[in-house]
Structure formats: structure tokens, C-alpha cells
Amino acid sequence: MSECQNLENCNFFKMFENDKSKHLALKGFIYMFCKGRKQDQCVRKKISQILGSSQFVPPNMLPNGFAMAGTNKSNWSEKVTKLL
Ligand code: SF4
């Protein structure tokens, strides 16, 4: 399967790439979603398509739509939370 076209610029990875405690989780998400069979189920990708830009997707949102461990949804816009 080809990888997601957003992978290089996905702000989810940019936010956590320097956090060593998250590296294993990031690898797992890349394997399952960005380069894997769940790519079409990525909530980040769906929200980005619906709202017209990835800039509206919260950086701490996981591909499965949950907030990264240790973070929360308090900064997520209503526009985003309504789509979940
Ligand atoms: S998290 Fe989703 S939108 Fe971002 S690169 Fe992976 S599959 Fe694409």
C-alpha cells in the first residue's frame, strides 16, 4: 500500500517527533494508518478533507480521533469536535 500523501507534512508527527517517549506510539500509528491498511480510516485525514485543510486538525489528535496520551481536547475547535 502506498503511504499517505500527508505524511511528510502531517502536524501530528511534527508535534511529537522530538518526544522520545512517544516514538514507539508514532511508529505504530505510521505502520497501521499512514503506511498501512487503516489509512482510509484516519480521522485526521477525514477531518482535513471535510474542512478543506489540515491546518484545522488539532496537532495532538491521533489518527484514530483520540487525543495523544498526556494531552486533551480542550483546545479543539467546536467545528472539529462536532465531526467526531
Ligand atoms: S496521521 Fe492520517 S493524515 Fe497524517 S499522515 Fe497519517 S494517515 Fe495521513
The pLDDT tens digits for 31-63 are: 999 999 999 999 999 999 999 999 999 999 999
Return d(Cα 62, Cα 58) in angstroms, integer: 9
Give the rounded distance of the alpha carbon of 53 from its chain centre.
13
Give the residue-averaged pLDDT of 71-79.
96
Whether 1 has a pLDDT exceeding 80, the answer reads no
**Mean pLDDT rounded to a whole number for the chain:** 94
Q: Cell for 83? A: 465531526
45: left (phi over 0), alpha (psi -120 to 50) or beta: alpha
Quick check: 55 and 84 in contact, CB under 8 A? no
* Best CA proximity match to 11, nearest among 72, 57, 50, 71: 57
- The residue whose C-alpha atom lies closest to atom 6 belonging to ligand 1 is 34
Question: How confident is the model at residue 63, as a pLDDT?
Answer: 97
Whether 80 has a pLDDT exceeding 90, the answer reads yes
Give the residue-averaged pLDDT of 59-82.
96
Pocket of ligand 1 (CB under 6 A): 4, 6-7, 10, 12, 33-34, 39, 42, 44-45, 63
Nearest ligand 1 atom to alpha carbon 7: 5
